[in-house]
Amino acid sequence: MDFKLSEEHLMIQQAARDFAQTELLPGVIERDEKQEFPTEQIKKMGELGFMGMMVAPEYGGSGLDTVSYVLAMEEISKIDASASVVMSVNNSLVCWGLEKYGTEEQKQKYLPRLASGEILGAFCLSEPEAGSDATSQRTTAIDQGDHYILNGTKNWITNGGTADVYLVIAQTYPEKGHHGINALIVEKGMPGFEVGLKENKLGIRGSDTHSLMFTDVKVPKENRIGEDGFGFKFAMKTLSGGRIGIASQALGIASGAYELAKKYSKERKAFGTEICNHQAIAFKLADMYTEIEAARLLIMKAARDKDNDDNYDLSSAAAKVYASKVAMDVTVEAVQIHGGYGFVKEYHVERLMRDAKITQIYEGTSEIQKIVISRSILKD
């Protein structure tokens, strides 16, 4: 495996780092406190090409590889994981899913505006009674000839209030189980589609998470993605790539906290010396560094698998489960290294610790990743 990043990769990494420092850092604490969506910042990310990084230029995207995407995700997540989840959903779930499986008309209609950040997308799989157990979809899409009638509720939808395009998974033929599920493109404003209240969250508080309610929403047949009954496979295949994005979000949260802790440990004095000179603190930093490097390698492996068209179901699940654990471990230790100062908002690490937790929950909990991993490694 080639560990060296190309000139282009380094440039993208630097551009994301600069953007995060100049545009996301100012106001990140206030946005977290007020649960304020980073509207202006997301608009600028769109202008810079961060909202459709892997979309082909013919559909208005940047045409970059997955490695570029994870490098940018890490840099954005170091500073603002709320902005990075918006980026992740738009890039790796909505744009990727549409580009890979959509019709030419669907791609022409939606991708250019999604990739430029003019509009945002949402990916709607989870329901009150179907989270991990995603095949148990209760939302129904009844076939009415030239359209579907959509009824049901989706839960926890990222970009729920801010999106214009929603990829909604729903059951058409309950007797066929997961083979009867479809994926439909629903647009904001379709009659019968309502956005519920915004969730008040522990972390990633700048992102907006909502329930969505569908009551007899008429969705044209041309809005179905893929063949009749392909919806569950569509969700699973799309999530395999999404998990690489969330793993890099976790990596960014961890490396952001590590950098802050390392800097602080060289400044703060106790017992007549900088605290990094106490072995207990130096060893924490050594563990943090090692875990972060290991997570980065797993993520790069998954990204390269995807770029090489190799199967990445296993490598993406392994990257996500490991990187999200590293995010938890490292952020807790970063708060510890800051002592009391780590417990207050100005030092950022308490927010990073709160943000880390979601990476073990969404896009498949850690327990679900272990199901995916164990099934894969035991298969042969």
198 is an interface residue for ligand CAA by CB under 6 A: no
CA distances from 149 to 136, 163, 192, 346 (A): 19, 21, 10, 49
User: Which of these ranges, 144-152, 154-162, 237-245, 269-277, lies near ligand FAD under the rule CB under 6 A?
Assistant: 154-162
Gap between the Cα atoms of 17 and 72, Å rounded: 8
CB 69 within 8 A of CB 96: no
User: Which of these ranges, 125-133, 210-218, 283-291, 320-328, lies near ligand CAA under the rule CB under 6 A?
Assistant: 125-133
232 is an interface residue for ligand CAA by CB under 6 A: yes
Q: Between residues 201 and 296, which has the closer beta carbon with respect to ligand FAD?
A: 201
CB 269 within 8 A of CB 127: no
Residues 195-214 that bind ligand FAD (CB under 6 A): 201, 204, 209
User: Which bin fits 171, alpha (ψ -120 to 50), beta or left (φ > 0)?
Assistant: beta
**What is the nearest approach in angstroms of ligand FAD to the Cβ of residue 269?**
39
Among 240, 249, 315, 324, binds ligand CAA (CB under 6 A): 240
CB 23 within 8 A of CB 79: no
Q: Between residues 42 and 288, which has the closer beta carbon with respect to ligand CAA?
A: 42
Gap between the Cα atoms of 188 and 191, Å rounded: 9
**What is the nearest approach in angstroms of ligand FAD to the Cβ of residue 12?**
25
**What is the nearest approach in angstroms of ligand FAD to the Cβ of residue 370?**
8
* Known catalytic residue at 274: no
Structure tokens given for 294: 């290991």
Number of residues that bind ligand FAD (CB under 6 A): 22
The one of ligand CAA, ligand FAD, none whose footprint includes residue 285, by CB under 5 to 8 A per kind, is none
Gap between the Cα atoms of 353 and 261, Å rounded: 12
95 is an interface residue for ligand CAA by CB under 6 A: no
99 is an interface residue for ligand CAA by CB under 6 A: no
Q: Which candidate in 74, 99, 127, 363 is catalytic?
A: 363
DSSP line for 184-231: EEEETT-TTEEEEEEP--SS-TTS-EEEEEEEEEEEEGGGB-SSTT-H
**What is the nearest approach in angstroms of ligand CAA to the Cβ of residue 366?**
11
Among 103, 153, 336, 365, binds ligand FAD (CB under 6 A): 365
Phi, psi of 5 (to 5 degrees): -85, 145
For the chain, state the CA radius of gyration: 21
Which positions are catalytic? 363
- Binding residues for ligand FAD, rule: CB under 6 A, are 89, 123-126, 131-133, 156-158, 201, 204, 209, 358, 361-365, 367-368
